[in-house]
Amino acid sequence: ETGVTQTPRHLVMGMTNKKSLKCEQHLGHNAMYWYKQSAKKPLELMFVYNFKEQTENNSVPSRFSPECPNSSHLFLHLHTLQPEDSALYLCASSQDILSNEQFFGPGTRLTVL
Amino acid sequence: TQLLEQSPQFLSIQEGENLTVYCNSSSVFSSLQWYRQEPGEGPVLLVTVVTGGEVKKLKRLTFQFGDARKDSSLHITAAQPGDTGLYLCAGPRAGNQFYFGTGTSLTVIP
């Protein structure tokens, strides 16, 4: 238990569906991250939030839309995804963006049909 | 081209054996981190090495940072089934973000 929870743990959706991934951290951290983990590829950083403000968007397609209503919660809204978007989506948090230690959640395994 | 190359990609060994996995780059890093990711979970930080030539030990795990700070190795002594998982190395890049390697998937057979 790392103090970072993610729901749902598994999600299957069609290309026309709209769904959202949720991440919550109970560590009092101020920075939160979304990563994508695909088979045979390194973890890809998608978005970074620091004190609820987005500080990084690594050229992520607009069909992925993050939302950070407060420092403890992070959402990833999904719309019109493609099969190649199927992956494990990991949320992480750290004390702030200067911290070297990130705590990861268990991930949401997403399958796009 | 991956900035951090990890080898081997897959490793399957018997319980009690020793093993070494590698993380290599052509770039110099100020530090490198090692994570372990167990099936169905997210990565968990094991160690950060920051000084060239540094050796850190965590029970049966020994981590070494290369003198030139371009590579790192993880040696496990007397592997146990609980060591099974994906071992990832990561190095910092601009903006305090991290590059991750593709990982070494280790299976320890009882």
User: Which of A 82-111 lie inside 8 A of B, CB atoms?
Assistant: 90-92, 97-107
**Helix, strand, coil shares, percent, chain B, to 5:** 5, 55, 40
Reference B37, options A86, A105, A108, A74; nearest CA is A105
pLDDT above 90 covers what percent of chain B?
85
- Of how many residues is chain A composed? 113
Q: Do A100 and B44 touch (CB under 8 A)?
A: no
Secondary structure of residue B109 in the 3-state scheme = strand
Which among B31, B42, B92 is the nearest to A104, CB-wise?
Answer: B42
Neighboring chain B residues of A21 at a CB cutoff of 8 Å? none
Q: What is the pLDDT of residue B22?
A: 98
Q: Is the peptide bond before B8 cis (omega within 30 degrees of 0)?
A: yes
Distance between B67 CA and the closest CA of chain A, angstroms: 21
Find the mean pLDDT for residues B36-47: 93
What token pair was written down for A14?
Answer: 């069609």
Judged against a pLDDT cut of 70, whether residue B96 lies above it is answered with no
Count of alpha carbons within 13 angstroms of residue A37, beta-carbon side: 25
Beta bridge partners of A1: none
Rounded distance, CA B110 to CA B99, Å?
A: 33
Total CB pairs under 8 A between chain A and B: 50
Specify whether the CB–CB gap between A108 and A12 falls below 8 A.
no
Rounded distance, CA A33 to CA A78, Å?
A: 16
What's the mean pLDDT when you consider all of chain A?
93
The distance in angstroms from the start CA to the end CA of chain B is 36
Which among B4, B33, B44 is the nearest to A2, CB-wise?
Answer: B44
B38 and chain A in contact, CB less than 8 A:
no
Rounded distance, CA B79 to CA B26, Å?
A: 30
A contact test, residue of B29, B47, B100, B104 with most A CBs within 10 A: B100
- Side chain identity at residue B15, one-letter code: E
A27 and chain B in contact, CB less than 8 A:
no
With CA atoms as reference, the chain A residue closest to B47 would be A101
DSSP state of B82: G
Task: Give pLDDT tens digits for B64-84.
Answer: 999 999 999 999 999 999 999
Q: What is the pLDDT of residue A54?
A: 86
Q: Do A100 and B95 touch (CB under 8 A)?
A: no
Judged against a pLDDT cut of 70, whether residue B2 lies above it is answered with no
By DSSP bridging, strand B10-14 and strand B61-65 are unpaired
Q: What is the pLDDT of residue B3?
A: 85
B22 and chain A in contact, CB less than 8 A:
no
Secondary structure of residue A78 in the 3-state scheme = strand
Judged against a pLDDT cut of 90, whether residue B54 lies above it is answered with yes
